[in-house]
Amino acid sequence: MPTPQSLPDNEQILAAVVRAWSGALNVGKIQPTDNFFSLGGNSLIALRTANQLSGELGVQLSIRALFEHSDLQDYVREIERMVKQQEHSRGEDAR
């Protein structure tokens, strides 16, 4: 798990999302093209999952991101984009 000063790398993000989806949706194996909602997700589960991942990864995630990027690989890419954006913001704040 990343510390508050460090942001997660791509492998940590993927592993965290797979764990979160697997647990929330009671699905054993998740494929890169699996869709959160096709696997049984709904808005309440999406909210809980986004909150869980925000805490675990130390990145502010919105439920909207999961609705707009509901395939695993797309959602992970979106989180990676958010992490890079937060890294950039942190770098500017340090100046």
The answer to whether position 5 is within a domain reads no
- Indicate whether 28 belongs to any domain: yes
Task: Give dist(CA 28, CA 57) in Å, integer.
Answer: 22
Neighbour count for residue 80 (Cβ, 10 Å): 17
Task: State whether residue 2 is helix, strand or coil.
Answer: coil
Predicted confidence at residue 3, as pLDDT, reads 47
Range of the domain at 46: 10-93
Give domain status of residue 37, yes or no: yes
Q: Would you call 35 helix, strand, or coil by DSSP?
A: strand
Domain assignment of residue 79, yes or no? yes
| pLDDT beyond 60 at 1 | no
* CATH number reported for the structural domain that contains residue 80 in this entry: 1.10.1200.10
48: which strand partners?
A: none
Give the count of domains, the chain: 1
Nearest alpha-carbon partner for 30 in 44, 46, 15? 15
**What's the pTM value of the predicted model, to 2 decimals?**
0.85
| 3-class secondary structure, 81 | helix
Per-residue pLDDT of 16-27, as tens digits, reads 999 999 999 999
